[in-house]
Amino acid sequence: MTVEPSLTRRSTLRATTAVTGAACALALAGCAPSVSNTKAKGQAPEEIPTGGTPYEVGKIAELPVGGSAAATAGEVEVMLFRPDEATVLAYSDICTHAGCKVAPSGEDFKCPCHGSIFKGSDGTVVSGPAKAPLPRYAASIDGEWITVSV
């Protein structure tokens, strides 16, 4: 009676190589930066409709001249910028490059995913891979409140 080995050298090497390859792939995937929490739902709208529903998003005293801030108008998250005492501007918080959420950064808005920077004064691209400006919402100062229409 002849007994054949159940595990050949070739099959052992194949299995070892497969397991090592899978382990390396998982290890490298863990090194990639995570941007899942900065990804916005959907893409930036090409055009913001006018005449939307107005929402009070914060008190004007909380946004200094030259300052930027995040706010929520209804269910829409927006970026605010106050260029002077009498004006507040509101923009989409969705980067026009890859759909990540931008964040206030001094007088600008910065995308954490690929580094695009947008001017708070007009939403245009200062630097980065984004080519299109941030879409703008209608905003006003009503007494002590900042109002944004979405």
**pLDDT value at position 6?**
63
* Domain ranges (residues) in the chain: 38-149
**pLDDT value at position 34?**
43
Q: What are phi and psi of 79, to 5 degrees?
A: -110, 135
In angstroms, the CA 37 to CA 43 distance is 15
The answer to whether residues 125 and 37 touch, using CB atoms and an 8 Å cutoff, is no
Q: How many CB atoms lie within 10 A of CB 126?
A: 13
pTM of the model: 0.69
Element containing residue 83 per DSSP (H, E): strand 76-84
Tell me the pLDDT tens digit for each residue of 98-140.
999 999 999 999 999 999 999 999 999 999 999 999 999 999 9
CATH homologous superfamily for the domain 38-149 = Rieske [2Fe-2S] iron-sulphur domain (2.102.10.10)
